[in-house]
Structure 1
Amino acid sequence: MLALFLTDEVGDVEVSARGVTARTDDEGYFTLPLPREGNHGWVDVGVRIAGDEATATCPVLIPQPTAQFVIVSDIDDTMLQTGAYSLAKNLWTSLTGNISTRRVFEDAIRFVGALSAQGRNPVYYVSSSPWNMYHFLSSIFDRSGLVKGPKFLRDLGISKTQFITGTHGDHKGASIDALLAANPELPHVLLGDTGQHDAFVYRDAIIRHPGRIAAVILREPGPGPDEESLAAMKEIEKTGVLLLHAPNFEGFAPQVVAHIDALG
């Protein structure tokens, strides 16, 4: 686990794909906004480093023309058993677990599978876990059979302006904003849990994007929602957005699909 964080960052180099260029930041990250060019489903995008023979392939997911909605899901304690609502439990689980011991909730596998409808509706995962965990999480998801989807993870590196780049809420909110902007014609379903303030993040997203979010589904891990989370959940309900919450996701899929069908 510690080896995942022993990385050599390559900053301020030019990368390009399909005629679009960008420069890596201090931590070696880059963003390339590309036109869809009529593509759908999973597409491999070749990325080249300027002045170097090195190339990389970045897989991206573009919704199918038949998609009814987009699923955006948190990871820790929503899909993956972590105990993130407790700092001590979170650190112990994260630092001592490995690919074979970490577990994805069985009800989450069934729930996301039903919502995805065999790939018709795309799934994207948004988490405050660092990018260093990308391959680790991908291996766990693949092993469990959870629906495959791109991951929006977080840069925890030290930049010139701040010690940890961005907050939990800022990162999730910005990722949701990006997905909504990329898919303006589709309603979105947000999955999360009550242990890491997802209710607040999702409430704020609903306020920023009225009419764009069809449903919010929250798992209630550990002791369940505190009073502040309950207040945020009540605010979500007042907007008319479907809110479902329980210790697990059993039986939620038909309700979500029926609700979106009713919205037309």
Structure 2
Amino acid sequence: MLKKALHRIALGAERLLDRVPPRRNRSGADLVIDPHIGYSTAEHVIVRGRVLRGLRGSTARHEQGVLRNVWQMVSLFLTDEVAGVTVAHGRATAVTDDEGYFQLLLPVGRPPGWHDIKVTIANGGTASACPVFVPRPDARFLVISDIDDTVLHTSAYSLLRNLWTTFSGNALTRRIYPDSAALLQSLSENGRNPVFYVSSSPWNMHGFLTQVFSQAGLVRGPMFLRDLGLSETQFISAGHGSHKGSSVDALLKAHPTLPAVLVGDTGQKDASIYRDAVQRHPGRVSAVLLKVPQNGLDADDRHDLKQLRASGVHVFPASSFEGAVQQLNLWLPPP
């Protein structure tokens, strides 16, 4: 019932925004790029972002009140995205889709590490630096981590609590779990192993999450978020499980020689999602680490964990990730 009401409100807000005429004809001069962290595959360096008619948001302060926090978060969703715009880096070009998103495919060959790719908008738009991560050739494995209630306190298992946590806080007050941050730092091995993040949060939250992660000193990595995809019959473009599963599929395909360590929590049925991923990609997942909430495991969780273990995957379900790295060192081949 609440989700339907939110759907109606969001759809109405989008319609109102769509009726506002642009201040200029689509010359490109008033367009900006909201950069999303890109990544590398065996075939391409993938530069990602979204073209908008202006970026919203303001600097968060520790002492600001809840109403200010709510307005800052709401403003992230009041986007005026622009479709059909050409973006470019050198000779490579891409055209934004109906929601303003683009993926620019560049040739491989850049050295490992972080790169800022200058992307321009056709007809005079503002150029932006879009960050891209290229993994090291000596990586032992890749890490794919959930965000909500695994790394970041969200209360995603309850819609009301999730909304309150999301909209009442700001980039300086949101809480990162220390054990999760320490786990990902250890798994990264000082940047040797790439870390990727998957979340059901919309792409509108990308910049905000980047600030939260940076503020907390969390390992930097590309994110795979969701499009809101508002329509008469649809609130969000894909379900939680299908989005996370397809993101895992894409990352395993992008790194065909690397085994994966999957990190998540049982509050949103990650055990089931990761079990399905293991079945789709036999031999590719080395370990599954799951944070267990205070209410513990239910019967479905226990069944999913049993199936994961039966497939030969090492499983670490616990209320804290403390001790997980030591356990992993017993499971994974030595460096």
- The TM-score range, normalised by the shorter chain, is over 0.9
Paired residues of 2:199 and 2:226 also in contact (CA < 8 A): yes
2:104 aligned partner? 32
2:270 aligned partner? 198
Percent identity at matched positions? 52
Cα separation, 2, equivalents of 1:238 and 1:52: 57
- The alignment partner of 2:245 has SS state of helix
1:242 aligned partner? 314
- Structural mapping, 1:83-94, within 5 Å: 83-94=155-166
Give the one of 183, 191, 197 matched to 2:255.
183
- Structural mapping, 1:61-210, within 5 Å: 61-158=133-230, 162-210=234-282
Cα separation, 2, equivalents of 1:11 and 1:116: 37
- TM-score, normalised on structure 2? 0.74
| Structure showing greater Rg | 2
Deviation, 1:221, is 1.7
Q: Which amino acid aligns with 1:170?
A: S
Cα separation, 2, equivalents of 1:206 and 1:236: 8
2:119 aligned partner? 47
Paired residues of 1:18 and 1:34 also in contact (CA < 8 A): no
> Residue 17 and residue 226 in structure 1: after superposition, are their counterparts in 2 closer, same or farther (change >3 A)?
farther
Q: Which amino acid aligns with 2:172?
A: S
2:328 aligned partner? 256
Cα separation, 1, equivalents of 2:120 and 2:295: 48
Gaps of 5+ in 2: 1-72
> Residue 104 and residue 226 in structure 1: after superposition, are their counterparts in 2 closer, same or farther (change >3 A)?
same
> Residue 259 and residue 201 in structure 1: after superposition, are their counterparts in 2 closer, same or farther (change >3 A)?
same
Cα separation, 2, equivalents of 1:4 and 1:37: 35
1:56 aligned partner? 128
Q: Which moved more, 1:218-227 or 1:183-192?
A: 218-227
> Residue 101 and residue 180 in structure 1: after superposition, are their counterparts in 2 closer, same or farther (change >3 A)?
same
> Residue 18 and residue 260 in structure 1: after superposition, are their counterparts in 2 closer, same or farther (change >3 A)?
farther
Q: Which moved more, 1:192-201 or 1:151-160?
A: 151-160
Paired residues of 2:113 and 2:135 also in contact (CA < 8 A): yes
> Residue 199 and residue 26 in structure 1: after superposition, are their counterparts in 2 closer, same or farther (change >3 A)?
same
- The alignment partner of 1:5 has SS state of coil
Q: Which amino acid aligns with 1:137?
A: L
Q: Which moved more, 1:161-170 or 1:235-244?
A: 161-170
Deviation, 1:174, is 1.4
2:16 aligned partner? none
Paired residues of 2:230 and 2:236 also in contact (CA < 8 A): yes
Q: Which amino acid aligns with 2:107?
A: P
- Please give the per-residue CA displacement for 1:55-108, whole angstroms capped at 9, x wherever unaligned: 222111111012111111000110011221222221211121112221101111
> Residue 53 and residue 93 in structure 1: after superposition, are their counterparts in 2 closer, same or farther (change >3 A)?
closer
Deviation, 1:145, is 1.2
Gaps of 5+ in 1: none
Deviation, 1:209, is 0.9
- The alignment partner of 1:73 has SS state of strand
Cα separation, 2, equivalents of 1:178 and 1:34: 17
Aligned length: 263
Deviation, 1:142, is 1.0
Cα separation, 2, equivalents of 1:15 and 1:237: 46
Task: Tell me the C-alpha RMSD between the 2 structures.
Answer: 1.8
- Please give the per-residue CA displacement for 1:100-159, whole angstroms capped at 9, x wherever unaligned: 221101111111111111111111111011111112111111111111111111111325
- The alignment partner of 1:189 has SS state of strand
